[in-house]
Chain A
């Protein structure tokens, strides 16, 4: 292969945070007209490397060469004007402005009388059209869009800037399969136009579907650069985690062999006609002690809304809720917490972590709130609690005094899980606990959920990954269009495909079609729902 000059070359990059070496002598090359995947576990340094390239972090050692010139970017703006655009995992747009403005902010088309809004919105529509989103009304506020749609708008924005280097940091973590296909089509078009694309994703299937070349990082070190077609999945995962992964595939699965007698035991929590206008239709639902109930449905199907009612994050408008056979009215989260119900949000950054507090402070937040501020938790007890959950959940780095914002997404999620476990809940509601986190951390969280149920905690598990729901849940509640449309008692024969069929059978043909595409992607890696999702399928195929 002839080796033209790379458009981006990073040599021997080192970055240190107080106490940790986030990157240690990492090399990275990116060529024009390729899709280059950056691989590694959470905390391996992928995000740090990207932030070094885009000028968010200052590098402590090494050099960055863009288009033949050594550069030191001071901030995103600098990087953008040199043609390096980034779409981050957490959508970085402003929800108070319109869709069109978000695409064009800073690049509005100007005429004699200042910004020409007609032309600007037209240009925004053009940029959106490249992703097949020309049907969006660019005048509507961005906040009217789902997170998935916002992500696509963010990508449109990067394209509107005419980037030479496009960095996509986990762009697909909140997209459904059809949207991912759309995105890939756009990525291929851009690649053929000579754009260099740096792509980060935790979905191995996506890596193999789209990338030409990949660089692997492990623990902040450079592990190697390979052509994607030369490296099979097993080898890739082994290089990422640095060990074999037989242990990961054995969890879950066996739980639902023993069938529960649902009529015999009284449910822990029972909802009758529970609903709230405009967010979820009246719903009946029982949750038993020590049971994992999965909520399956697409983004916006009402699964989060239902969960919020169960916790008291929103107050139910109608219907009743009984807990231990007694009627309860959850007016606010404190009520839910007082009744030993915990809710971990899907919106990790805005509603979950408190970025500027340490791991310790984040972890004791809920239990402290429960006890009341007048009774501070003694430092010794704090230390014990935090120590216990850091070890149990394998939080890395295992330093309770790190600021949580410096942890990777997966480890932040573990801290949040620890926060709620510390309150010793009887019912734990986990909304998308594994979104955007890597294979290893995902398996660890799944393992923790299975163990919790074993210990008698009831869990509501919400995930867009049907595979995962099927693997963990005893019962699966299927939601669509803000209502419960079915309930499946899980068993060895149940597959993700069945859930999809339930969703697809309910409603119009057009909607059903896109759901099926979604399902195929979800189901494809393995037909046996008893085995772990990605690691296992990787083994089978190798």
Chain B
């Protein structure tokens, strides 16, 4: 499944010869014809490019090294969350606990680090806290037959409460903490003035997560089972697939990746708070849906979710650049964009069906 990789190319390939672009378009068309389910994802990519072009024309300084670098650096955690959410939504489930898992994991992590624990141990523990929360959700859903919405809602309250129990003050990492290294910026290409390609280990982690997720979803039996469950859980069971195990696993993956996102986010900010990550589960769901994953499960691509996260991030950049839009409008605009995407996907898919 190399489907979604190609359409991203126009971003960098705009300067290429036109024949190359035409070839690419015909390839995209062929892929869409043979598998209409990639269309919403392709639409997301097209709209992302549209936003970039609009931003460049209206405000300038969008298509340049430092803006794009910052887009990735500031949204690395959201990309990881969107990947986590994609696994869950592909099975037809939902995970509302990711935001509060981040709060719990980062507050606990920072406090342990400040208490003098070894940073490697702290990082592993932060991730394992996510794993444990995810495992609990998964077991509730699979073996106690609790609705995913309810089970993860319970875990959301639990995580938030535990974080508040630990501390209600902002916990600050020591300035010399090795954990901060993950958020440190490295110049890859030194451009003019501040226009550099910058990368943090956190971004690299996010990109690795995306690659591994892509591999798991498209190149392993487990990944294919995730899609099959989203298609029809009862059919999957009758086909002899490992449905219970996989269903638990997607929540474990989601929890674990939330832990990873907590590490990446905390290392960038250096501060952890019990109110961190409120509403992030909804951002992650929005990113996933914008990226073309169907909430009912079975259809969607992890690369689409990455684009969805970038769309949300870019939107914030554009709003800041505009200057005239009050920050309170951000959520309204997010909602609007989400709605437009969903309507667009509807239009595209219903046209296909006739």
Chain A residues with a Cβ under 8 A of chain B: 56, 75-77, 79-81, 86, 88, 92-98, 101, 105-106, 108, 110, 113-115, 117, 137, 139-141, 157, 161, 277-279
Q: Which 3 A-B residue pairs are closest in the complex by CB-CB distance?
A: A114-B219, A94-B231, A96-B298
Q: Are A106 and B237 within 8 A (Cβ)?
A: no
Q: Are A139 and B241 within 8 A (Cβ)?
A: no
Nearest chain-A residue to B36 (Cβ)? A141
Q: Are A106 and B240 within 8 A (Cβ)?
A: yes
> Most chain-B CB neighbours within 10 Å: which of A77, A79, A96, A113?
A96
A176 to B303, CA, bound (A): 42
Which residues of B are found within 8 Å of A92, using beta-carbon distances? Answer: 232, 234-235, 238-239
Nearest chain-B residue to A111 (Cβ)? B219
CB B221 to nearest CB in A, in angstroms, measures 6
Contacts A/B (CB < 8 Å), 14 sampled: A75-B237, A76-B238, A94-B227, A94-B228, A94-B239, A105-B241, A106-B239, A106-B240, A106-B241, A106-B242, A108-B224, A139-B34, A139-B35, A157-B239
Known contacts: A105-B224, A106-B225, A279-B354. The answer to whether A93 contacts B239 by CB under 8 A is yes
A81 to B242, CA, bound (A): 12
| Complex partner residue of B231 from A96, A106, A114, A115, CB under 8 angstroms | A96
Which residues of B are found within 8 Å of A278, using beta-carbon distances? Answer: 354
A268 to B308, CA, bound (A): 53
Which residues of A are found within 8 Å of B86, using beta-carbon distances? Answer: none
Q: Are A114 and B354 within 8 A (Cβ)?
A: no
B183, CB-defined interface residue at 8 Å: no
B256, CB-defined interface residue at 8 Å: no
B1, CB-defined interface residue at 8 Å: yes
A279 to B227, CA, bound (A): 29
Q: Are A94 and B236 within 8 A (Cβ)?
A: yes
CB A266 to nearest CB in B, in angstroms, measures 33
Known contacts: A141-B35, A279-B354. The answer to whether A97 contacts B238 by CB under 8 A is no
A279 to B37, CA, bound (A): 21
CB B241 to nearest CB in A, in angstroms, measures 5
Q: Are B224 and A101 within 8 A (Cβ)?
A: yes
CB B348 to nearest CB in A, in angstroms, measures 16
> Most chain-A CB neighbours within 10 Å: which of B234, B237, B238, B241?
B238
Which residues of B are found within 8 Å of A141, using beta-carbon distances? Answer: 35-37
Q: Are B37 and A76 within 8 A (Cβ)?
A: no
| Complex partner residue of B240 from A77, A113, A140, CB under 8 angstroms | A77
Q: Are A96 and B220 within 8 A (Cβ)?
A: no
A113 to B211, CA, bound (A): 13
Which residues of B are found within 8 Å of A106, using beta-carbon distances? Answer: 221, 224-225, 239-242
B230, CB-defined interface residue at 8 Å: yes
Chain B residues with a Cβ under 8 A of chain A: 1, 34-37, 215, 218-221, 224-225, 227-228, 230-232, 234-242, 298-299, 354
> Most chain-A CB neighbours within 10 Å: which of B224, B234, B239?
B239
Q: Are B238 and A86 within 8 A (Cβ)?
A: yes
Q: Are B224 and A97 within 8 A (Cβ)?
A: yes
Q: Are B239 and A97 within 8 A (Cβ)?
A: no
A110 to B215, CA, bound (A): 13
Known contacts: A77-B240, A92-B238, A96-B298. The answer to whether A108 contacts B221 by CB under 8 A is yes
CB A71 to nearest CB in B, in angstroms, measures 15
Q: Are A117 and B240 within 8 A (Cβ)?
A: no
A310 to B95, CA, bound (A): 43
Nearest chain-B residue to A54 (Cβ)? B238
| Complex partner residue of A105 from B35, B215, B239, CB under 8 angstroms | B239
A117 to B219, CA, bound (A): 8
Q: Are A93 and B220 within 8 A (Cβ)?
A: no
Nearest chain-A residue to B220 (Cβ)? A114
Nearest chain-A residue to B231 (Cβ)? A94
Nearest chain-B residue to A90 (Cβ)? B235
Q: Are B219 and A97 within 8 A (Cβ)?
A: no
Q: Are B237 and A94 within 8 A (Cβ)?
A: no
Nearest chain-A residue to B245 (Cβ)? A77
A76 to B189, CA, bound (A): 56
Q: Are A114 and B239 within 8 A (Cβ)?
A: no
Q: Are B238 and A88 within 8 A (Cβ)?
A: yes
| Complex partner residue of A95 from B225, B231, B238, B242, CB under 8 angstroms | B231
Q: Are A76 and B215 within 8 A (Cβ)?
A: no
Which DSSP category, helix, strand, loop or mixed, fits chain A's interface?
loop
Q: Are B241 and A117 within 8 A (Cβ)?
A: no
A110 to B354, CA, bound (A): 37
Which residues of A are found within 8 Å of B1, using beta-carbon distances? Answer: 117
A76 to B227, CA, bound (A): 19
Given contacts A56-B238, A106-B239, A141-B35, 11 further A-B contacts (CB under 8 A): A77-B242, A80-B240, A92-B232, A92-B234, A94-B231, A97-B228, A98-B35, A101-B224, A106-B225, A108-B221, A110-B221
Which residues of B are found within 8 Å of A88, using beta-carbon distances? Answer: 238
A140 to B35, CA, bound (A): 7
CB B79 to nearest CB in A, in angstroms, measures 22
| Complex partner residue of A115 from B35, B221, B242, B298, CB under 8 angstroms | B221
A164 to B158, CA, bound (A): 50
CB A458 to nearest CB in B, in angstroms, measures 29
A80 to B243, CA, bound (A): 14
Which residues of B are found within 8 Å of A75, using beta-carbon distances? Answer: 237
| Complex partner residue of B34 from A94, A108, A140, CB under 8 angstroms | A140
CB A408 to nearest CB in B, in angstroms, measures 18
| Complex partner residue of B237 from A76, A95, A101, CB under 8 angstroms | A76
Nearest chain-B residue to A115 (Cβ)? B219
Q: Are B299 and A105 within 8 A (Cβ)?
A: no
CB A354 to nearest CB in B, in angstroms, measures 15
CB A308 to nearest CB in B, in angstroms, measures 12
A277 to B227, CA, bound (A): 32
Q: Are B238 and A105 within 8 A (Cβ)?
A: no
> Most chain-B CB neighbours within 10 Å: which of A80, A105, A115?
A105
Which residues of B are found within 8 Å of A56, using beta-carbon distances? Answer: 238
CB B130 to nearest CB in A, in angstroms, measures 25
Which residues of B are found within 8 Å of A108, using beta-carbon distances? Answer: 221, 224
Nearest chain-A residue to B241 (Cβ)? A106
Which residues of A are found within 8 Å of B231, using beta-carbon distances? Answer: 94-97
Q: Are A113 and B219 within 8 A (Cβ)?
A: yes
A95 to B227, CA, bound (A): 10
CB B231 to nearest CB in A, in angstroms, measures 3
Which residues of B are found within 8 Å of A94, using beta-carbon distances? Answer: 227-228, 231-232, 235-236, 239, 298
Which residues of A are found within 8 Å of B218, using beta-carbon distances? Answer: 114-115
Which residues of B are found within 8 Å of A140, using beta-carbon distances? Answer: 34
Q: Are A76 and B240 within 8 A (Cβ)?
A: yes
A29 to B168, CA, bound (A): 69
CB A501 to nearest CB in B, in angstroms, measures 32
A279 to B224, CA, bound (A): 32
CB B46 to nearest CB in A, in angstroms, measures 22
Q: Are B237 and A96 within 8 A (Cβ)?
A: no
Which residues of B are found within 8 Å of A80, using beta-carbon distances? Answer: 240
A279 to B237, CA, bound (A): 33
Which residues of A are found within 8 Å of B35, using beta-carbon distances? Answer: 98, 139, 141
Q: Are B239 and A76 within 8 A (Cβ)?
A: yes
Which residues of A are found within 8 Å of B225, using beta-carbon distances? Answer: 105-106
Which residues of A are found within 8 Å of B234, using beta-carbon distances? Answer: 92
Nearest chain-B residue to A78 (Cβ)? B240
A493 to B242, CA, bound (A): 57
A196 to B237, CA, bound (A): 23
Q: Are B228 and A105 within 8 A (Cβ)?
A: yes
A106 to B219, CA, bound (A): 12
CB A343 to nearest CB in B, in angstroms, measures 19
A161 to B240, CA, bound (A): 10
Which residues of A are found within 8 Å of B236, using beta-carbon distances? Answer: 94, 105
Which residues of A are found within 8 Å of B239, using beta-carbon distances? Answer: 76, 92-94, 105-106, 157
Q: Are A96 and B219 within 8 A (Cβ)?
A: no
Which residues of A are found within 8 Å of B299, using beta-carbon distances? Answer: 96
Q: Are A93 and B235 within 8 A (Cβ)?
A: yes
Q: Are A96 and B221 within 8 A (Cβ)?
A: no
Which residues of B are found within 8 Å of A157, using beta-carbon distances? Answer: 239
CB A114 to nearest CB in B, in angstroms, measures 3
CB B102 to nearest CB in A, in angstroms, measures 30
